[in-house]
């Protein structure tokens, strides 16, 4: 009996030690439960403003996310995005967290896979699946606003431009030089002197850097949303006055010098007024660029 009692006591001690070690390891694990403990952490790791927003996004996506099938390439993708997939290495909350961390912090695949204790291949399949899933599910949450909605929320800085419906701008993302000659030509940016993808903010898929701002606007369908009496504000590269005129709309862009040595005083004032309100679209671009996955050169 004494020997059994001693063995039992030793086992209890070992269990106590192992329990402490397990608790310590759990606290050290890089996961949503441990990392998203404050609004500041949520903003840093995911770009979302607070815990409530992360939980709301998770709640919105979870029903369909449970039925996701991992993407395995264009030639091998299974029959549906929403059929029951293989058993998960991470739960849905941590899959979403891992994807947002990759987007916000721009961590290398090897790094983030190690943090979540999965293979690089597993993370890549999961990441590609979620990017396509998020694109589908979030797209309709941001409909093009009506003119009434725009006017209701128009900042005071737009008092001189009361009919402005939209401010347009493009941004470019560096990419690796494509191997195909046609793709090289399509993505070469004469402005950046690099191969880039180009996007019209919030509206379009990415275009090659060789595409002009005017071509993107005519090609992407944004003009379908323009209505009579709308005013569009843009930079000098958006020479779309004729296209807007056919819609009964107008264009505000900074004046050109047209061969003159400098702008007139009136033109300088117009340029200043437009710049004061165009800052909003530039801030939107800056927010996009806080996703550090865009810092490097895209493959």
Residue 138 three-state SS: helix
209-220, pLDDT tens digit by residue? Answer: 788 888 888 888
Handedness of CA 94, 96, 99, 104 (dihedral sign): negative
The stretches in the chain having pLDDT less than 70 are 1-3, 16-28, 73-87, 202-206, 258-259, 261, 298-299
User: Beta strands 231-233 and 250-252: pairing type?
Assistant: parallel
What is the pLDDT at residue 43? 94
Task: Provide the CA 44 distance to its chain's centre, in angstroms.
Answer: 15
d(CA 290, CA 299): 19
Which pLDDT belongs to residue 116?
92
The reported pTM is 0.65
Residue 262: its pLDDT value, please?
79
pLDDT of residue 26: 52
**pLDDT value of residue 119:** 93
pLDDT in tens, 67-122: 888 877 655 544 444 445 456 789 999 999 999 999 999 999 999 999 999 999 99
pLDDT of residue 205: 52
Closest CA to 204 of 223, 185, 187, 188: 223
CA distances from 123 to 49, 98, 198, 248, 265 (A): 25, 9, 27, 50, 57
């Amino acid at each position: 009996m004494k020997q059994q009692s001693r063995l039992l006591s030793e086992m209890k001690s070992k269990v106590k030690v192992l329990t402490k070690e397990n608790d310590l390891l759990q606290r050290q694990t890089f996961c949503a439960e441990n990392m998203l403990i404050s609004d500041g952490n949520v903003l840093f790791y995911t770009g979302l403003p607070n815990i409530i927003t992360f939980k709301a996004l998770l709640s919105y996506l979870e029903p369909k996310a449970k039925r996701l099938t991992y993407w395995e390439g264009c030639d091998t993708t299974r029959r549906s995005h929403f059929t029951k997939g293989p058993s998960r290495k991470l739960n849905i909350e941590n899959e979403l967290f891992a994807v947002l961390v990759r987007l916000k912090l721009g961590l290398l695949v090897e790094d983030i896979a190690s943090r979540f204790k999965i293979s690089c291949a597993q993370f890549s399949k999961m990441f590609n699946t979620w990017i396509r899933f998020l694109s589908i599910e979030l797209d309709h949450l941001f409909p093009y606003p009506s003119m009434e909605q725009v006017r209701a929320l128009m900042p005071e800085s737009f008092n001189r431009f009361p009919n402005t419906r939209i401010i347009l701008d493009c941004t470019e993302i560096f990419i690796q030089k494509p191997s195909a000659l046609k793709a090289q030509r399509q993505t070469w940016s004469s402005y950046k002197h690099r191969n880039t993808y180009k996007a019209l903010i919030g509206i379009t898929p990415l275009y090659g850097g060789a595409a002009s701002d005017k071509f993107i606007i005519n090609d992407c369908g944004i003009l379908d949303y323009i209505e009579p009496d709308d005013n569009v504000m843009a930079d000098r590269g958006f020479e779309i006055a004729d296209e807007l005129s056919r819609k009964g709309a107008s264009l505000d862009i900074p004046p050109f010098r047209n061969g003159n040595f400098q702008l007139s005083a009136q033109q300088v004032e117009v340029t200043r007024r437009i710049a004061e309100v165009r800052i909003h679209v530039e801030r939107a671009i800056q927010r996009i660029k806080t996703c550090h996955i865009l810092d490097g050169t895209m493959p």
